[in-house]
A and B are shown apart, each in its own frame.
Chain A
Amino acid sequence: MRKSILFLSLLVVLSLVLAACQPTPAPEAEKVRITWWHIQTKEEERALWQKLADEYMAAHPNVTIEITWMENEAFKAKMTTVMQSGNPPDLFQSWGGGVMNEYAKAGLLKDITADLDKDGWRDTFSPGALGAYSFQGKNYGVPRDMGMVGFWYNKDLFAQAGIDKPPATWTELLDDVKKLKAAGITPIAVGGKDKWPGAFWWEYLAVRIGGKAAFDAAYSRTGAFTDAPFVEAGKKLQELVALEPFQDGFLGATWGDEATLMGNGKAAMDLMGQWAPGAFADNSVDKKGLGDKAGWFPFPTVEGGAGDPADALGGGNGWTVGKNAPPETVDFLKYISSVDSQREQAKIGLSVPVVKGAEDALADPLLKIVQQGAAAAKYFQLYYDQAMPPAVGSVVNDSVQGLFAGTMTPEQAAQAIEDSAKQEIK
C-alpha cells in the first residue's frame, strides 16, 4: 500500500515534469504564419481586410494570415500585456507617436527602414503621415490613414434650432449650443468615460489659443503646460461645460455611446476624427447613420488666439511590424498599402488615404474636406495622448475629464499635466 502511494506520487510529479517538456512539433520548412491584429469592427471594413488577406494567401500558398480583430479599448488593453510579455503580433494597428516610441525603444518592433528605401516604397506615402511611424530616424511601420478632428453635425437638428450656418468662432459655438438647448436638442455628444473624446476639446482649444509655439515650448521644456494658453484652454472649456451641453450621464458614456447618439440623430454635434461617420453608421439602428444629414465644420477660432484657423489637431491609423515577424509580413504590408487597396479603403470610408493617387477614391464628400484640411494644415498637431509619452497622454486625458466633471480647475489640470511632463519628457 505504502509503496504504491509512493509510486503514485512519483508518477504525478513525473507526469507534470513531462508535460512541461513536451516537444513542440517542428514547423514545416516553408510554411509561414502571420498574425494580424486590427480594430475594425464594422462588418464592411472587416470584410475588406479579410478579402485582402485571402487574396494574398491565394497568391502565396505557403503563407497563412491569422486575423484577430478587437474593439479599440480592448485592443489597447491587450497590447499592453502582450508587449510586456515581449510577444508582439506580427502586424498590428498603431497610431504612431509616443506609445510606438516606447515599443521601439524596448526593441519590440521591427526596423523596416531598408524595406521602405527599396524600390521607392517610401515615396508612395505622403511624408507627413509616414513620419508618425518613425522614431530616431528609423521606420517601424507605415500609415494607412491620416485625418483631422473636427465637428460632425446633424444638419436637420441645426435647422430645427434655427441655426443657418456652422459656427466660425468659439462665441458663436456657445451661442449655437444655447439655441440647440432652447430647442430641446442635446447639443453635444461626448464619451466622458473613455476620456480621449473629451480631451480633444481641450487640446484643440490649446491649438487655437497657443498655436504651434505654445506646444513646442511646453514639449521641448523651454516652456510649460502651466503657460497661459493651456490654462486659458481650460477656462474656455469651463465656459462650455457650464452650459450643460452634453447628453445625460455623459461622464459614464463611452465613445460607442457617443456614436450611437449621433448615428440615431439624438445629438446635434460631435468633435471627432475621420472615423466618425463609419462609427455613426455602425452604431445606428438602421446601420446607415446620418447619411445626407451629416455635415462637417472645422474647430472654430478662439478670439484673440495665436493659432491659425487652418491649424489642425489630428492623427491617423497605421500598421507597425512586431519584432518576431517573418519577412513575408513586410511583403504583405506592401500589398495592403498599395494604391488599389487604399482606393478600396477610401471607397468605403475606412481610411482617408495616405498613398498618393488614392485620394480621389474617397466617396464621402465630407471625408474629402477632412483629407484636404489635414493636408493643408500649416501646423498639424498629433493628438496629445499619441504625441507624448503614454504617462503624460494619460494624465492629459484624466485631467480633462476632471474639467468636464467640474472637479478640477483649469489651473489644477494644467499643473497635473505639467507635473507629469516634467517627470516623463527629458
Chain B
Amino acid sequence: METASASEGVLDSSRQARFPRRVQDNLTIVLFLLPALVLFLVFVVYPILQSLYYSLFNWKGFGPAVDFVGLDNFKRILTDRIFMKAVGNGLLIVVLSLTIQLPLSLALALMVGRDLPGRAFFRTIFFMPYVFSEVITAIMWLFLYNPDPERGFINAVLILIPGVKPQPWLGSPTQVMGCLFVVLTWKYFGLHMLLYMAGLQNIPQEIEEAARIDGANRRQLIKYITLPLLGSTIRTSVYLSVLGSLQVFALVWIMTLGGPVNASEVMATYMYRFGFVRFWLGYGSAVAIVMLLISLAFSVSYQRLVRQPDYLSGM
C-alpha cells in the first residue's frame, strides 16, 4: 500500500511539473463541458448558421440552394402585412401574459403557498395543465370550443343562459385571440405559480414576523415585504413568459392554423406556413432569423435594464 501511494505521489509530482494545477483544472472543466458543448454546437449553433445561409436564397428545400437573392427575403418579411400582424399578435400575447397571467399566478401562489386548507390538493390541480403536452391541450380545447352546442361543451353551457347565442369562438377573427389566450393561460399559469411558490419559500419568516410586530397589516406585508423579496423570481418569470409568448407555436397551429385568415397568426406559424406549406424554405429561414433577432434583442436588453439589487443574495 505504502509503496503504491508513494509511487503515485511521485507520478503526481512529476505530472505537476509538466502541467501546472491550473492547466489541469481547466482541462477537467473542458472535458466535462465537451459533451454539452458538442450538443450545443450541433443542435443550436450549426442550425442557426445554416438558417442564416439559407435565408439568403430563394430555396424550396430540396437539393442544394443555388438562387442567391441577398437580403430580399428580409425586405419582403419586413414589408409583409401578415408578418406585421403576426408580430402584433405576439406582442398582444406578451402584454396579456404580463398583465393577466402572471398576476393571476402570483395571487394563486400567495393563496396556495400559505394558509389555504387543502393547499397540496390545489397545488397539484393547478400544476396539472402544465404537465400535459401542448398537443393534448390543443385538442382538448378544440373539443371545448366546438361551435356546435351539441358537440362543444362551452357553447352547450352558454345556451343554458336565456338570451345567449352560441359563439363561433375559434371561427371568429375577433374572438380567436382571446380564446387562444385563455388556453395559454390555463396551460402556463401553473408553471409561474410554482416559480413564485419556490420564491416564497425563500423569504425568511423572521422578516415577516418583524413587520407584523411593527403593526403591518396583510396588504402592507405583501406590498413592502413579499413583493420586493420576490423580485428576482418575478424577473425570471417575466423573462420566461415573454420569450415563451414570442415563440408560441404548437397550440396555435393545431387549434387555428393561424386563422381565420391570419387572425391568430404568430411568428412561428408564419414561419411554418411559408417554410413547410409553401415550400419556401429560404424565406422561412429568414423568418426564423428575424424571430431569433427579436428574442435576442429582448433577452439582452431585458438583462441590461432589469438589473436591480437582489435582496436575497447572501442569505
- Are A405 and B261 closer than 8 Å at their CB atoms? yes
Given known A193-B259, A401-B260, contact A247–B62 (CB-CB < 8 A)? no
Q: A366 at the A/B interface (Cβ < 8 Å)?
A: no
Beta-carbon contacts under 8 Å, B160-180 to A: 166-173, 176
Q: B24 at the A/B interface (Cβ < 8 Å)?
A: yes
- Are B168 and A251 closer than 8 Å at their CB atoms? yes
- Are B63 and A107 closer than 8 Å at their CB atoms? yes
Q: A9 at the A/B interface (Cβ < 8 Å)?
A: yes
- Are A103 and B62 closer than 8 Å at their CB atoms? yes
Given known A9-B28, A193-B260, contact A83–B147 (CB-CB < 8 A)? no
How far in angstroms is the closest Cβ of chain A from B140?
A: 16
- Are B147 and A249 closer than 8 Å at their CB atoms? yes
**Stretch with Cβ within 8 A of A (4 or more), from B111-119, B203-211, B276-284:** B276-284
Given known A2-B28, A5-B28, contact A84–B61 (CB-CB < 8 A)? yes
CA distance A174 to B157 in the complex (A): 34
Residue of B nearest to A16 (CB): B35
Chain A interface residue bracket vs B:
35 or more
How far in angstroms is the closest Cβ of chain A from B270?
A: 12
- Are A391 and B31 closer than 8 Å at their CB atoms? no
CA distance A420 to B76 in the complex (A): 13
CA distance A12 to B32 in the complex (A): 8
Q: Which residues of A contact B176 (CB under 8 A)?
A: 252
Q: B296 at the A/B interface (Cβ < 8 Å)?
A: no
Q: Which residues of B contact A250 (CB under 8 A)?
A: 171
User: B27, B62, B172: which contacts A249 (Cβ < 8 A)?
Assistant: B172
Q: A192 at the A/B interface (Cβ < 8 Å)?
A: yes
Q: A375 at the A/B interface (Cβ < 8 Å)?
A: no
Chain B interface residue bracket vs A:
35 or more
Q: B60 at the A/B interface (Cβ < 8 Å)?
A: yes
Beta-carbon contacts under 8 Å, A389-406 to B: 389-391, 394-395, 398, 401-402, 405
Q: Which residues of A contact B167 (CB under 8 A)?
A: 249
Q: B257 at the A/B interface (Cβ < 8 Å)?
A: yes
Given known A102-B279, A106-B63, A108-B62, contact A249–B28 (CB-CB < 8 A)? no
CA distance A250 to B146 in the complex (A): 10
- Are B261 and A252 closer than 8 Å at their CB atoms? no
The residue among B34, B35, B38, B148 with the most chain A CB atoms within 10 A of its own CB is B148
CA distance A2 to B24 in the complex (A): 9
Q: Which residues of B contact A10 (CB under 8 A)?
A: 31
CA distance A150 to B29 in the complex (A): 69
How far in angstroms is the closest Cβ of chain B from A378?
A: 32
How far in angstroms is the closest Cβ of chain A from B282?
A: 12
- Are A105 and B62 closer than 8 Å at their CB atoms? yes
Give the top 10 A-B pairs by smallest Cβ distance, nearest first.
Answer: A249-B147, A106-B62, A252-B171, A249-B171, A249-B168, A251-B260, A252-B170, A9-B31, A251-B171, A391-B278
